[in-house]
Structure 1
């Protein structure tokens, strides 16, 4: 039974309220996971763990997040966004509490890896973006997706210095408990996102379709496959940098506080980058814009690892990557909506996002694995450069047009 059955919508949704509450949810769900890198050193030192142990936990978190995202999308499309986000918030909070008390690598992998991964999947900003896609017009989607993505970035900007300050002030365990408590605001905020999980026909729904038919249609579309492959690279970059940039900066001999500053600056610049991306994606080719983003990422990483390290180079790199950080999300999600419409957007974007999280798993895990064996992150940085160039090539031929089912309807 859907939220639509329990809470019938007699009038259109309050779009501003949906946008505001959705943005706060995106901030809260994205914040704690973006601060995981600050627990790296205190947790490994407290338990005498290697970097690979902690990195594997976060890698599992990203993989579980990605694997569960299509399921979360199906649940949101079938039962409504409120139930899905509420379940995610509870799992997320429990995972943080158990992570605070993890005494063994297995406990860390189950709490910080599996439970938090499930919690993020069922409370993620991608579900918020899909909800936005059902309440705004097709012309408004790109900028709405940009606003939702920017809100997640604001969570990174807020939680990076907050997490670092709390860890220094009250300890890493207590900080995880505080984060757990903050997440319990999500079920209340998500009430505004209750309502029908189906977009009206006027929003570009097209002929009625089952979930199985929608998935077959998507995976039979070349552009969807290319989009899915390209998003793998985004996950590799973002996860590796989020978790390993703070310790990398410390390894360079700089004050560890520059790691917190860098992550916060990435989040701040990403707010602007996501909004600009939403604007550009609504007016120009989304696929070509994505190619440009990935190419610029490769250039930024190359310059950063080749020039002598200093606070200035850290700030410049963080600023550049911030503008390019989640600016991939509005055009990527926008392409899914353009190709297939909003009806099963949460599910289909969930599959694209699974590819992103496979990249995240490899970025985080390889960072820890190769560092423990070589004492350097150089190999992973160069992988990131090569993958950026690969993604630039893959996105270029993607066709920004509706599938035949929707194109036929538009022509009638």
Structure 2
């Protein structure tokens, strides 16, 4: 690998880390704003919960489309549009803090924003730029760098909400999202010369049918449902659950920050692991570890130490599924359509995210707490582990570099 491609790769990794830090970090803070928006602006918890649930569903619907456009035309251009969508997603409810505008802004526009500018888009570009023998590790490095935003944005938004109110915190997020636009310029702004372009938007339906007809891709996709279900519930409702348990409200922000901090080494480790262990095997272990952590947290008496230990444990394996899932798809289908194929798989993740966030909000409205939800989290996690362990390794003749 000569100097020029190496430089291009590391510039892209840095840009991917920064853009995905902003895209993923912004959505990581939404759980901190549910109660302040209710108290200060009268935004109902059900409306906020529905907005986050819709955000997850729109993200899932938009990811295959954004991925197919990026595969054909370059990830950077699509990610720049993501910054504009995010500006609208956070800016509109900041200007007009009503139930309807929260649903439209956070639910629709920020869902499109993260679909275009989030981790999946950035890592598909890195997967194409990195040499095959380093692909998993480089994806892990970019994913780990992208986790910085999840740790950094939480205290920023928590303090902004304290000083400026929830509306001021949303305005801060809207302005921050604009930084995605210039940063995206460093990530695969156009399809490299000599590289076969992806199938594009027109070829997406046939590509999705072909992939889902593969038994093991379908199992991988089914397992990804649990990832979205568990993570969306925790991101949206963990701060509220902590407050309902009588623990200090600031502990919710600390827990989300710990998740982001521990996700940094965890994402790198899982990317490194993807080049040494069959990704589906590692994914099953992650889902099982999450399930054990969730079960222990639900059964143990609520304490500050227990909450921080739970957050650190979940953080280490929080987004480790992303480089592993990307590596598993690349091993089966190559990298030309990696963005689109990851998006097809990710749609299942976001159906889970929609159900996790929405059902948690409904349960809170009806029962007043989340005690009935934790057993469901355990069952979903166990099912995901089994589905991934049922996946067979790709035939040697089918593996593409």
- The 8 Å contact of residues 208 and 344 in structure 2, kept in 1 or not, is answered as no
* Cross-structure match for 1:3: none
1:52 aligns with 2:46: yes
* Cross-structure match for 2:8: 14
1:345 aligns with 2:365: no
Give the superposition deviation at 1:332.
0.6
* Cross-structure match for 1:314: 307
* Cross-structure match for 2:160: 166
- The 8 Å contact of residues 220 and 345 in structure 2, kept in 1 or not, is answered as yes
5+ residue gaps in structure 2? Answer: none
- The 8 Å contact of residues 29 and 124 in structure 1, kept in 2 or not, is answered as yes
1:156 aligns with 2:155: no
* Cross-structure match for 2:175: 181
2:101 alignment partner, one of 88, 96, 107: 107
> Residues 49 and 29 of structure 1: is their aligned pair in 2 closer, same or farther, counting only changes over 3 Å?
closer
TM-score of the superposition, structure 2-length normalised? 0.93
1:65 aligns with 2:59: yes
Write the deviation string for residues 125-174 of structure 1: whole angstroms up to 9, x where unpaired: 11100000111011111112212222232111001111101111222111
* Cross-structure match for 1:74: 68
1:303 alignment partner, one of 279, 296, 304: 296
- The 8 Å contact of residues 211 and 344 in structure 1, kept in 2 or not, is answered as no
> Residues 156 and 402 of structure 1: is their aligned pair in 2 closer, same or farther, counting only changes over 3 Å?
farther
Q: Distance in 2 between matches of 1:53 and 1:183?
A: 23
> Residues 174 and 210 of structure 1: is their aligned pair in 2 closer, same or farther, counting only changes over 3 Å?
closer
* Cross-structure match for 2:375: 382
Structure 1 residues 8-407: aligned runs within 5 Å: 12=5, 14-197=8-191, 211=204, 213-401=206-394, 406-407=398-399
Give the superposition deviation at 1:212.
5.3
Q: Distance in 2 between matches of 1:230 and 1:273?
A: 19
Q: Distance in 1 between matches of 2:10 and 2:212?
A: 34
**SS class of match (1:254):** coil
Give the superposition deviation at 1:196.
4.2
- The 8 Å contact of residues 55 and 107 in structure 2, kept in 1 or not, is answered as yes
Give the superposition deviation at 1:91.
1.0
Write the deviation string for residues 42-87 of structure 1: whole angstroms up to 9, x where unpaired: 1112233442221001101111011011110111112221220111
After superposition, the CA RMSD in angstroms is 2.1
> Residues 162 and 77 of structure 1: is their aligned pair in 2 closer, same or farther, counting only changes over 3 Å?
same
Q: Distance in 1 between matches of 2:90 and 2:374?
A: 29
Write the deviation string for residues 91-132 of structure 1: whole angstroms up to 9, x where unpaired: 111111101133432221111111111111111111100000
Q: Distance in 1 between matches of 2:396 and 2:366?
A: 47
5+ residue gaps in structure 1? Answer: 1-10
- The 8 Å contact of residues 290 and 314 in structure 2, kept in 1 or not, is answered as yes
TM-score of the superposition, structure 1-length normalised? 0.91
Select between 40-49 and 271-280 the one with higher mean Cα deviation: 40-49
